[in-house]
Amino acid sequence: MSEQSVAHLVIDALKRSGIDQLFCIPGVQNDDFFNALVDAPEIRPIVTRHEQGAAYMAMGAAQVTGKPAACCVVPGPGMLNASGALTSAYWGYARVLAVIGQIATSQQGRHFGALHDLPDQTAILRQLTKHTAVVHDPATAAAEIQNALDLVHSGLPRPVSIEVPVDVWAKPAPGSITTPNATMPSPDPALIEKAAAIIASAERPLFVIGSGAYDAGESVAELAELVQAAVTTRRMGHGVLPTQHPLMVPITSAHDLWPTADVVVGIGSRIEWPLGSWGYDDDLTLIQINVDETELDRHGITDVGIHSDADLACRALIDAIGPLNRPSRIPELNALRASFQDRTSHLEPQLSYTAAIRDVLPDDGVMVEDVTQIGFAAHLFYDHLKPRTFLSSGAAGTLGAGTAVAIGASAATDRPVVGVTGDGGFLFTATELATAAQHNIPCNILLFNNNAYGNVKRIQQERFGEDRTIASTLQNPDMAKLADAFGVKYWHADSPESLRPALGESINHDGPCLVEVTVDAMPNPWPFLRLPQVRGN
């Protein structure tokens, strides 16, 4: 491939994106691409042990930086193996560029049973990404790839895929790839004026923030302080405002405010749990600010929908509202937080373990949650200080993603990363410890081991009886021996007090680590997360 090929164009796209790592597993349909990658030393291939690991790592890298990250897998089973991670990146709002092979052009859709054949791979990818580019014609490859590149950098952070058939990679391709044209929607001035008038006249405003507000922390805080709005988040918006900001309240306390809130403003949030569960009526005015235009009136009750970048919209609202003298709501919100602390004080050892992690992890350190007891508790109790320091699969709720996502995040940042997982989820991607060891990625996997799918088992016991558990108890390997087999440093703890030094030493170690914490069954946090209807019929 001495002349420019389609493979070279895709590699140029990675370079133009500033992507210097590719989480990948090579395979026959992508051989020509990887042959070209040999001559691109600027891009470090990180070979993983499963396609889901490659895509999860790209997700973690994209989430922790807010920038695109890339993975590459073969078609058919390779793509399907990666699909759970692409779904997680879709709902975790991660700019993942997925480079995916395809069977030969002449074989597609003809059910020959070619190696890695799928009846319609592209149809599946359309459900996992916000854009799916298929490069069939080398003459238009540059335009297709450039469009995909622009889209992964622009608007709503979600995966974008590029499919290239095995017979197209090496074909000569004209054109070139340029610096991505990253665009974000800006607010309609008329809608800003309308929303500003509503917010300025509100007596009990409530802001619900999501990951779409990650780059709007200062303006969200200024707007909230101007109008004395209570601020909350369910999961993805943690860190936009520090937990201890006087206007920030946990989701449980926001539920207490919901019946009397007169104006609710969603800022980069789907507001899915409040609107879907807590109820609404004609006395609630809803304003939505979102880069996802389809989210502006998802529930059919939005009064003002502003299609915009959150920071641009918040700053425009501040200017439109102007000086405002509102009575402080801090005493009211302080009382709500105190009540929340009293009501949840029995949730031990979750409270003490989240406090121990916070004590050890630096302010800019990153927690990656898996679907696990301490992950749930972190939604309520962990002290979130900065955006992009709490990584989640969001609505996907992907059990087992945490280990691989944490490895990917660790590969993309110099900040300490702690992946919090349970013994059930851990083994989904534990094999990626081999990837961390091979590439000396200094991740810290914090494994809480209760020999069960703990959440499932507790639900079975609470709903059906203590003796009605099924398929939720686990027999686990010796985790110390497992870590040693991978060449991963290991620590053990059995209390919050013993966790602090173990996790501290792990973070200070230059290499991948596993900290196992043996625990018993934990009390149920869900009554403080899944909250009942309190408004409307």
Residue 182 lies in a domain: no
Q: pLDDT tier at 3 (50, 70, 90 boundaries)?
A: confident
pLDDT at 537 over 90: no
Residue 179 lies in a domain: no
The answer on 329 and 194 residing in a single domain is yes
Residue 325: which residues within 8 A CB-CB, separation 6 or more?
none
pLDDT at 266 over 70: yes
Residue 439 lies in a domain: yes
The answer on 281 and 201 residing in a single domain is yes
Angle at 155 between CA 154 and CA 158, to 5 degrees: 85
The arithmetic mean of pLDDT across residues 370-392, rounded, is 96
Angle at 174 between CA 171 and CA 177, to 5 degrees: 110
Residues 513, 488: contact at Cβ < 8 Å? yes
The answer on 298 and 368 residing in a single domain is no
Tokens encoding 418:
């702690």
Mean residue pLDDT across the chain: 96
Among candidates 210, 264, 260, which has minimal Cα distance to 237?
210
Reported as a single tens digit per residue, the pLDDT across 390-415 is 999 999 999 999 999 999 999 999 99
Tokens encoding 498:
């013993």
CA distance 196 to 38: 55
Hunting for tokens 């992964």 — which residue is that? 152
Residue 1 lies in a domain: no
Reported as a single tens digit per residue, the pLDDT across 285-330 is 999 999 999 999 999 999 999 999 999 999 999 999 999 999 999 9
Phi, psi values for residue 17, rounded to 5°: -80, -10
The answer on 323 and 380 residing in a single domain is no
Q: pLDDT tier at 2 (50, 70, 90 boundaries)?
A: low
Reported as a single tens digit per residue, the pLDDT across 187-212 is 999 999 999 999 999 999 999 999 99
Among candidates 197, 211, 235, which has minimal Cα distance to 292?
211
User: Which of 130, 165, 200 delimits the end of a domain?
Assistant: 165
CA distance 42 to 17: 12
Residue 399 lies in a domain: yes
Cross-strand partners of 132: 161
The arithmetic mean of pLDDT across residues 481-497, rounded, is 98
Residues 441, 53: contact at Cβ < 8 Å? no
Q: What is the 3-state secondary structure (H, E, C) of 427-451?
A: HHHHHHHHHHHHCCCCCEEEEEECC
Return the percent helix, strand and coil in the chain, to nearest 5.
45, 15, 40
The CATH number of whichever domain residue 228 belongs to comes to 3.40.50.1220
User: Which of 324, 341, 358 delimits the end of a domain?
Assistant: 341
Residue 110: which residues within 8 A CB-CB, separation 6 or more?
none
Residue 527 lies in a domain: no
Q: Torsion angle, CA of 471/488/358/274, rounded to 10 degrees?
A: -40
The answer on 364 and 277 residing in a single domain is no
pLDDT higher at 112 or 199? 199
Residue 73 is classified by DSSP as: E
> Domain range for residue 320?
189-341
Phi-psi region for residue 388, left (φ > 0), alpha (ψ -120 to 50) or beta?
left
Q: Which residues of 448-476 are buried (b: 16+ CB within 10 A; e: fewer)?
A: bbbebbbbbbbebbeeeeeeebeebebeb
Residue 69 lies in a domain: yes
Verify cis geometry, omega within 30 degrees of 0, for the bond prior to 527: no
- Per cent of the chain over pLDDT 90 is 97
pLDDT at 46 over 90: yes
Q: Which residues of 193-205 are buried (b: 16+ CB within 10 A; e: fewer)?
A: ebbbebbbebebb
User: Which of 341, 364, 388 delimits the end of a domain?
Assistant: 341
Query: What total number of domains does the chain contain?
Result: 3
Residue 534 lies in a domain: no
The answer on 80 and 133 residing in a single domain is yes
Angle at 275 between CA 269 and CA 278, to 5 degrees: 130
User: In this structure, is the dihedral angle defined by the CA atoms of residues 56, 57, 63 and 67, taken in order, positive or negative?
Assistant: negative
The answer on 298 and 236 residing in a single domain is yes
- Report the interhelical angle of 189-201 vs 310-321 (nearest 10°): 60
Cross-strand partners of 230: 206
The answer on 365 and 329 residing in a single domain is no
CA distances from 394 to 182, 268, 376, 463 (A): 24, 13, 12, 26
The answer on 324 and 266 residing in a single domain is yes
The CATH number of whichever domain residue 429 belongs to comes to 3.40.50.970
CA distance 145 to 143: 6
Identify the three-state secondary structure at position 479. Answer: helix
CA distances from 204 to 229, 284, 338, 485 (A): 7, 10, 20, 57
The answer on 209 and 107 residing in a single domain is no
The answer on 319 and 355 residing in a single domain is no
CA distance 144 to 150: 10
The answer on 155 and 78 residing in a single domain is yes
